[in-house]
Amino acid sequence: MDENINDFDDESNDELELYVVLQVVMQELFALCTVASVVIQVILKKYLSRYPRNLIRGPNRLQEQMDHINRLVRESDITCIEQLRMDRRSFMTLCNMIHAIGGLGPSKHVTLEEKVAFFLFILAQHLKIRNVKFNFYRSGQTVSRYVNDVLKAVLRLQANLLSTPNPITEANTDPRWNCFQNCLGALDGTYIRVRVPLIHQGRYRTRKGDIATNVLGVCSQQMNFIYVLPGWEGSAADSRVLRDAINRPNGVRIPNGYYYLVDAGYTNGQGFLAPYRGQRYHVSIWREGATPSNYQEYFNMKHAQARNVIERSFGLLKMRWAILRSA
């Protein structure tokens, strides 16, 4: 029996020594792996920092970026209009204006056309930056930075993009406008839904309960915008927004003897011609076959047909740019 006990003790000592040896070997291997990983990181940081990130991604990524831009703005007008809401000629004209007047050019790894495409794609499709970065094979930081750069450049084009008003003359043959001599166009306000902090939602709540901003627009007879004033809360009355636009240093200016057509929400006064109150007015009434019963309704009918140009301008603007149709 003593011999069996001694044999058991010898076997236990051998297993313990083997376990200790294995533990030491594992610790040394772990230390070697740690040192090797540090050395590899230093080497990668030293040598890969010499190359741009988009080159590290490989030639396929660069080719995908180039192919996507070419497919958007160079292959066909149909694709360009569907995705960016303008044809190829208009797109290149806008790019040239942004470069020459807005002062924005290409960067080291992103062309000017791609920057403008970022901007127009968000306006036209109302997509988040994460969707745009997936479609254009770019990082979210790149898309966000260049969208803001293009926005600032476009704002510098306002003197070139906004139209100059031309008054109606006696020679005008348009039946909607020929009875409004010296008229410069029409103006009105529209609501654009926005997202604001909870504490400010009361000021931006419209009479219909939407959270929106009240935007004043002035357009010519050809539906070209002359002046735009955004930023007012949705609870602000149209007349208050107009008063602010008149009092601004670079606001609406109306020469003596000229005027704009306005709806009944504005005051009828110098520079602004409103319809008769208490009489039938809206275009839909006259389109349904109704006829004026007196001179006041006849004036309102002609007034509504002409002033409808601003409603059509707002409608086309929201139809083209999806970002204006939702918050």
3-class state of residue 105 by DSSP? coil
Q: What is the pLDDT along the chain (327 residues), one digit of tens a residue?
A: 555 545 545 556 666 676 677 777 777 777 778 877 777 777 767 665 655 554 444 556 677 778 788 888 888 899 999 999 999 999 999 999 999 999 999 998 899 999 999 999 999 999 888 888 888 888 889 999 999 999 999 999 998 999 999 999 988 888 899 999 999 999 999 999 999 999 999 999 999 999 999 999 999 999 999 999 998 999 999 999 999 999 999 899 999 999 999 998 898 888 999 999 888 888 888 888 788 889 999 998 999 999 999 999 999 999 999 999 888
In this predicted structure, what is the pLDDT of residue 56? Answer: 46
Query: CA–CA separation, 307 vs 261, rounded Å?
Result: 6
In this predicted structure, what is the pLDDT of residue 8? Answer: 46
In this predicted structure, what is the pLDDT of residue 64? Answer: 77
Query: CA–CA separation, 260 vs 187, rounded Å?
Result: 7
Query: CA–CA separation, 38 vs 28, rounded Å?
Result: 16
> Is the pTM higher than 0.85?
no
Helix and strand tally (H, E) in the chain?
A: 13, 5
Query: CA–CA separation, 88 vs 77, rounded Å?
Result: 6
